[in-house]
């Protein structure tokens, strides 16, 4: 089961290459008009990365505004109940706006300011990335437009209101299925038209180069903190690390620091929905095929004609037909393992965590939890698992109540 690639084979610092490729995956499949913008963005990002002033401003905002560092929490009662490996949670759920997404929103907003761009656009599905972006734009005095499918707007009225409170304009998208994929298309259209004064804050480790690399880098702090924290608490590195994978940003943020530690098993958990049947899930590595979607080449759930398949997950944040290209690469070389959790397993795991630890997890993060609950009893008691608790579940409580037949 565990990865077959040796540490020597993993030259993570060299990836992506100049063309934005991770092996066969990634790249830059966009209209001509955006090529210059992406090139400029990549160049500016390289300069910012090497600029101590940018790095110190970023560190300041992550600490004072977002609430970093987040803790690494030993889940003692859950560990005892399962009777296997010692389980730790990286508490990204305690960040401002409730999830890891703010790490990337802060980084990209700072980059936009550096480039003199005063207008920000973003896309959002469930609204989490939209809220993080609107929040950061309010903080930095940037104009903010968020594209959101009109079906999602109806489902996530509270998040629409949150964004509006922060001064953002939420534009409903009525094309296609009126959900995330359509919102991304609309955001790209806006960017093509307004690229001179506008920066597009993409919300996951997806899309055209340099986004997958840049978003990963803004989340690398998660794994860097974990290394120091687990050394302090356990005096050694973990045996396994587990994270849920939508586009893949929280997972790569946790894993990146440990890719060249061959003894650590890394596991990404996708959304198994109602089970692995066509149109009923969002597990790209269960039947997805190589293709190009919204700027990059990666594994995509599509039919024989290349039409994007319907996807389903109990959690909107994992409900997307494509996976980040870096994950596709590490899956192909055998460095990261992938599993999936179904909606039913997720609901069960959600209840277990509330009951044993008094923590209400986001349904996205609960996919990683469902796998952790299965896995921990298979490992000895002296083994250590670190799981990324990517977000809190306040946003999901209503939905869970409905599923469980509670009237709230």
Ligand X SMILES: *Cc1c(COP(=O)(O)O)cnc(C)c1O
Q: Per CB under 6 A, which of residues 265..324 are in contact with ligand X? A: 317-318
In the complex with ligand X, which residue's Cβ is closer, 226 or 318? 318
The answer to whether 90 touches 72, Cβ cutoff 8 Å, is yes
Please confirm, yes or no, whether 150 is among the known catalytic residues.
no
Compute the distance between CA of residue 137 and CA of residue 140 in angstroms, rounded to an integer: 5
Please confirm, yes or no, whether 101 is among the known catalytic residues.
yes
Q: Which of 190, 357, 364, 396 binds ligand X (CB under 6 A)?
A: 364
**Residue 202 phi, psi dihedral angles, 5° rounding:** -80, 145
| Residues making up the chain, counted from first to last | 408
Sheet order of strands, 198-200 included:
169-173, 143-149, 119-124, 198-200
CB atoms within 10 A of CB 221: 21
Compute the distance between CA of residue 70 and CA of residue 212 in angstroms, rounded to an integer: 23
Please identify, among the stretches 83-91, 106-114, 277-285, 357-365, the one whose residues bind ligand X according to the rule CB under 6 A: 357-365
Q: Which of 166, 244, 349, 386 binds ligand X (CB under 6 A)?
A: 244
What string marks each residue from 90 to 119 as x (binds ligand X by CB under 6 A) or -? ---------x-x------------------
Q: Which of 248, 273, 288, 325 binds ligand X (CB under 6 A)?
A: 248
DSSP 369-382: HHHHHHHGGGS-TT
* Structural Rg of the chain based on CA atoms: 20
250 binds ligand X (CB under 6 A): yes
How does 322-343 read in b/e, with b if 16+ C-beta sit within 10 Å?
Answer: bbbbbbbbbbbeebbbbbbbbb
In the complex with ligand X, which residue's Cβ is closer, 111 or 368? 368
Q: Which of 75, 201, 391, 400 binds ligand X (CB under 6 A)?
A: 391
By beta carbon distance, the residue nearest ligand X is 391
Cβ-count burial of 261 within 10 angstroms (0-12 exposed, 13-18 middle, 19+ buried)?
middle
Q: Which of 246, 272, 295, 325 binds ligand X (CB under 6 A)?
A: 246
In the complex with ligand X, which residue's Cβ is closer, 109 or 363? 363
Q: Which of 313, 315, 365, 390 does the annotation list as catalytic?
A: 390
Q: Which of 144, 153, 359, 362 binds ligand X (CB under 6 A)?
A: 362
Could you list the residues that contact ligand X (CB under 6 A)? 99, 101, 128, 204-205, 244-251, 317-318, 362, 364-365, 390-391
Catalytic residues: 101, 123, 390
């Amino acid at each position: 089961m565990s990865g077959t690639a040796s540490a020597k084979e993993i030259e993570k610092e060299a990836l992506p290459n100049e063309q934005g490729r991770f092996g066969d995956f990634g790249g830059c499949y966009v209209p001509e008009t955006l090529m210059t913008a992406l090139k400029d963005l990549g160049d500016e990002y390289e300069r910012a990365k090497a600029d101590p002033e940018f790095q110190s401003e970023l560190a300041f905002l992550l600490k004072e505004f977002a609430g970093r560092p987040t803790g690494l929490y030993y889940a003692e009662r859950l560990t005892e109940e399962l009777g296997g490996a010692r389980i730790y949670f990286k508490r990204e759920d305690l960040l401002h706006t409730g999830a890891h997404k703010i790490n990337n929103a802060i980084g990209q907003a700072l980059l936009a300011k550096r480039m003199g761009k005063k207008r920000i656009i973003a896309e959002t599905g469930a609204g989490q990335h939209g809220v993080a972006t609107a929040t950061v734009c309010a903080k930095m005095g940037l104009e903010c437009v968020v594209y959101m499918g009109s079906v999602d707007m109806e489902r996530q009225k509270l998040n629409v209101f949150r964004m509006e409170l922060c001064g953002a304009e939420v534009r409903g998208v009525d094309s296609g299925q009126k959900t995330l994929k359509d919102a991304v298309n609309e955001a790209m259209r806006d960017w093509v038209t307004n690229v001179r004064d506008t920066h597009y804050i993409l919300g996951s480790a997806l899309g055209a180069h340099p986004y997958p690399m840049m978003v990963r880098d803004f989340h690398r702090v998660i794994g860097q903190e974990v290394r120091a924290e687990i050394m302090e608490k356990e005096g050694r590195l973990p045996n396994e690390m587990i994270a849920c994978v939508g586009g893949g940003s929280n997972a790569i943020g946790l894993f990146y620091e440990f890719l060249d530690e061959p003894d650590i098993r890394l596991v990404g958990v996708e959304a198994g929905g109602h089970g692995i049947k066509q149109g009923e899930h969002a597990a790209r590595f269960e039947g997805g095929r190589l293709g190009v979607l919204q700027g990059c080449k990666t594994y995509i759930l599509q039919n024989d004609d290349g039409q994007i398949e319907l996807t389903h997950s109990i959690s909107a944040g994992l409900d997307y037909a494509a996976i980040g290209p870096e994950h596709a690469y590490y899956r192909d070389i055998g460095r990261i393992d992938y599993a999936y959790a179904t909606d039913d397993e997720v609901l069960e795991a959600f209840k277990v965590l509330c009951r044993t630890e008094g923590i209400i997890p986001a349904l996205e993060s609960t996919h990683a939890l469902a796998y952790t609950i299965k896995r921990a009893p298979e490992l000895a008691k002296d083994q250590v698992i670190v799981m990324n608790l990517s977000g809190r579940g306040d946003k999901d409580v209503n939905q869970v109540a409905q599923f469980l037949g509670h009237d709230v």
